[in-house]
Each structure stands twice: as structure tokens, then as C-alpha cells.
Structure 1
Amino acid sequence: MTTSTNLNYVVHSAIFLSLFSLGLTIECFQCNSVEHPGCEDLKVNDTKSQYYKKCDGDYQKQEPFCRKVETEIMNVEDSARIYRSCGWIRTGNFTMKDFCRKADTDFIKKRQCQCYSNACNVSDRITPSSASVIILAILLNVFRQLGLI
């Protein structure tokens, strides 16, 4: 192996190992709009907010992720609620992909999102996690080096 090949393996290994720490130390907004003023209006760049916290807790050996739940009781004024938290039990999507789902009934509207990058449980739009982007970049580089692309 050449020195540049060794360096590539070291760099890729370091990036790969850093993915584990990314997942284990995810930081999410943790609040609910009933008890915490300003919880409903958070923006991605609000990382100085008192509600932006590291996911600490007993996650039963599962990797924590960020969750946002929006509920509203139909035909009831001021019934909209937003709950932001760390989660560990995946709902409906058992991959590590960001995703949202609706669960509306006759009288309650509910939207639940789960995502895997810091501060991702803030906006209406879920973006790809940083880990997904890094993994894709690594795979493209490896395939390029192997001459597969």
C-alpha cells in the first residue's frame, strides 16, 4: 500500500467512527408549547435556545433521534400543540431516514416527525441527516478509488 492509500483508509475510518458519536450525542429541541413559551416558534439557528439540549436518558440501548409532534383538536380554539423531544422507539419507519407521518381522525389532526441530525425537530421541512450525507460521500469516494464509477 502506498502512503496516500493508507492516508485515505485512515481518513475514511475516522469519518466512519465519528458517525457513531454523532448518533449517540444528538442534540434536539425539548419542549412543549403548553408549558414552554416560544417552543412553537423555534428556528434551526436557535441552538442557543434554552430548549436545545443533548439527548440524555435511558434509551434502552437504542440510538436516540429527534421527534416533533403537532396536534390540533378540530373546531376547538387554541388547541394546537407542539411537542419536541428525543425519541428512541421508531414509529412506522424503522430505517435511519428522516420521515413524517400524519395520523388524523374525525376530530384530531396529528403530524409526527422523526429525524437524525442536530436541531432537526424544529421546522416543517425534514432534511437529510448529516450522517446520510457523510456516508454517501464516503461510498462515492470508495467506489471511485475501486474504479467502479
Structure 2
Amino acid sequence: MTPANSISYVTFLLLAVFTCAQTVNGIKCFQCNSFEHPACANLTANDTNSPFFHKCQPRDNHEMFCRKTVQTVLDTPQFTRITRSCGWFIYKTNKSLCQVTDTDFKLETSCQCFTDGCNAGTVLTPVFGTVALLLGGSLLS
């Protein structure tokens, strides 16, 4: 291979690598809790200028996602806390379902989602969707 061909070959390889390389941007989630910041309780997906909307910091080699947890403590007086955060440990194997914990002391619903700002709004939407699917399936049976 002549020196001119070597330069052309290296140039071609570099162009191929840079053309095929993709930039990976981390997911952005709302990150706050309503105990420290009461405004955290009422965020919507349009609040992307919120001081709580941040890019998730990578954790090892895990896929990052957004999570919203609504925790109601069944004490006197009863109170509710909302926590919005980044997650890296996926509940179970089904990415679309929420995790519900119900004890004598608290009711907790934690949902995970995988698009920017998806942990705003109501946590009940995925639950209603699941209930609708189950009801629809039982009606078809």
C-alpha cells in the first residue's frame, strides 16, 4: 500500500467512525420531594424550565429512567409526600407497571418511566390504564 493510499484509508476509517458515532444524551427527570419543596407536588410535563428538571447522573452501567413515588402515611394526621427522582434499578421485569406497597402504616405507589420529564403529573395514569386493560380483557372473555 502506498503512503497516499494509507492516508486515504485512514481518512476513510476516521470519517466512517465519526459518521456512525451517535451522541448519547442522558434522560432528564424532575428531581425533588414535596417535603422540602411543596411546589414539587404540582409539576406538569410542561414545566421543563423548572429548577427541579435535571439530567440524571449515570450510575455504573445502568439504564437511567425517571421515577415518581407517592407515599401516604396513614397516621393522625394523614399526610402525603411526593418524590420525583432518577432511577437505575427497574422494578420487576415489566417496565410499564407501577409498584404498590400497602401496609397498616402507609400506602406507596412508585412508577417508572423512560422519557424526558415523564415523572411529572399524576401517578395514577398507568394504574388506570392497567385497570382498563384488565376490565377490557375480562369483558372479552
Tell me whether the two structures share a fold, i.e. TM-score over 0.5.
Answer: yes
Aligned-residue offset at 1:101: 2.2
State the aligned residue count: 105
Cα distance in 2 for partners of 1:26, 1:76 equals 38
Instruction: Please list every run of 5 or more consecutive structure 2 residues that lacks an aligned counterpart in the other structure.
Output: 1-19, 127-141
Runs of 4+ with deviation above 6 angstroms: none
Q: Which amino acid aligns with 2:100?
A: K
- What pairs with 1:1-149 in structure 2 (closer than 5 Å)? 21=24, 24-57=25-58, 59-77=59-77, 79-92=79-92, 94-95=93-94, 97-124=95-122, 125-126=125-126
TM-score (ref. length: structure 1):
0.63
Q: Which amino acid aligns with 1:61?
A: N
TM-score (ref. length: structure 2):
0.67
Q: Which amino acid aligns with 1:55?
A: C
Change (3 A) 1:34 1:78: farther
* Greater gyration radius: 2
Q: Which amino acid aligns with 1:113?
A: C
> Percent identical across equivalent pairs?
39
Aligned-residue offset at 1:44: 0.8
Aligned-residue offset at 1:78: 5.3
Aligned-residue offset at 1:46: 0.4
Cα distance in 2 for partners of 1:55, 1:114 equals 14
Q: Work out whether residues 68 and 84 of structure 2, in 8 Å CA contact, stay in contact via their aligned partners in 1.
A: yes
Q: Which amino acid aligns with 2:101?
A: A
Aligned-residue offset at 1:74: 1.2
Give the alignment's Cα RMSD to 1 decimal: 2.1
Instruction: Please list every run of 5 or more consecutive structure 1 residues that lacks an aligned counterpart in the other structure.
Output: 1-13, 127-149
Q: Secondary structure at the match of 1:50?
A: coil
Q: Work out whether residues 30 and 117 of structure 2, in 8 Å CA contact, stay in contact via their aligned partners in 1.
A: yes
Cα distance in 2 for partners of 1:54, 1:76 equals 37
Cα distance in 2 for partners of 1:49, 1:78 equals 28
Cα distance in 1 for partners of 2:44, 2:28 equals 14
Change (3 A) 1:108 1:25: same
Q: Work out whether residues 99 and 115 of structure 1, in 8 Å CA contact, stay in contact via their aligned partners in 2.
A: no
Aligned-residue offset at 1:37: 2.8
Change (3 A) 1:122 1:76: farther
Cα distance in 2 for partners of 1:76, 1:39 equals 23
